[in-house]
């Protein structure tokens, strides 16, 4: 007597797994193209810079920044997620040195980006993650090697502190009081703050 076994389910399961894997790869490819579309990012930054409702925070230079003629600004839309930081008059960097942009909001410090100036001394950093632009109350721009540390380090060049946006009791990062090339924690600063 011949017994007929149950039909094998491995063939349909393999086919379903293959289709799901292919769909996932297509999805990731489309999302990756969107995420890394440099022209789209450039267009979004231009839209922020040209928007009539854009909020602009001028980043005052430190003593070292004034001596070098450096200027900068943070711009964002009130309900937007994209922060655009523009810089002018930046001297060229050497070796692994970069201009580092540090942002602070209620969650603490964050290294938002690193940039090298073009031949005219201009640079731009675009940042669209947390912290949201409206919550940023301090910006420090330094020149140093990017070591991925989120606390400001390097030669401080630009520094903005928003007293109207900062939480009660917050004090500005003391970058002007530090020797060139080193930012150390302030004496008496709240825990977690330099």
pLDDT attached to residue 40: 67
Q: Whole-number mean pLDDT of the chain?
A: 80
Encoded tokens for 34: 């969107």
Tens-place pLDDT, residues 23-40: 777 776 666 555 555 676
Q: Check residue 27 and report its DSSP letter.
A: H
In a domain, 178, yes or no: no
Secondary structure element (H or E) that encloses residue 20, with its range: helix 10-35
* Domain span holding position 120: 51-161
Residue 77: inside a domain: yes
**Count: domains in the chain:** 1
**pLDDT tens by residue, 131-183:** 788 899 999 999 999 888 888 999 899 999 998 888 888 888 875 454 444 44
Question: DSSP strand E in 121-188: where?
Answer: 123-127, 138-145, 155-161
The answer to whether position 9 is within a domain reads no
Indicate whether 12 belongs to any domain. no
The CATH number assigned to the domain holding 132 equals 2.60.40
| Whether the Cβ atoms of residue 110 and residue 150 lie closer than 8 Å to each other | yes
- What size, in residues, is the chain? 194
Q: Is 91 among the domain residues?
A: yes
- CA-nearest of 164, 71, 77 to 126 is 77
Res. 92: pLDDT tops 90: yes
Q: Are 113 and 126 in contact (CB under 8 A)?
A: yes
Calculate mean pLDDT across residues 62-88. Answer: 91
Give the model's pLDDT for residue 181: 43
């Amino acid at each position: 007597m011949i017994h007929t076994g149950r039909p094998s389910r491995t063939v349909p399961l393999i086919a379903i797994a293959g289709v799901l894997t292919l769909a996932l790869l297509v999805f990731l490819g489309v999302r990756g193209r969107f995420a890394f579309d440099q022209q789209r990012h450039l267009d979004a930054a231009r839209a922020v810079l040209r928007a009539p409702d854009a909020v602009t925070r001028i980043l005052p230079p430190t003593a070292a920044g004034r001596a070098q003629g450096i200027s900068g600004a943070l711009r964002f839309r009130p309900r937007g997620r994209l922060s655009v930081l523009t810089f002018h008059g930046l001297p060229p960097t050497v070796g692994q040195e970069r201009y580092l942009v540090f942002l602070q909001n209620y969650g603490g410090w964050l290294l938002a980006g690193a940039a090298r100036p073009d031949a005219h001394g201009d640079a731009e950093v675009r940042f669209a993650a947390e912290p949201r632009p409206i919550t940023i109350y301090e910006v420090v721009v330094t020149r140093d090697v990017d070591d991925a540390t989120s606390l400001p380090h390097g030669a401080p060049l630009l520094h903005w502190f928003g007293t109207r946006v900062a939480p009660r009791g917050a004090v500005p990062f003391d970058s002007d009081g530090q020797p060139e090339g080193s930012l150390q924690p302030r004496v008496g600063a709240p825990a977690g703050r330099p």
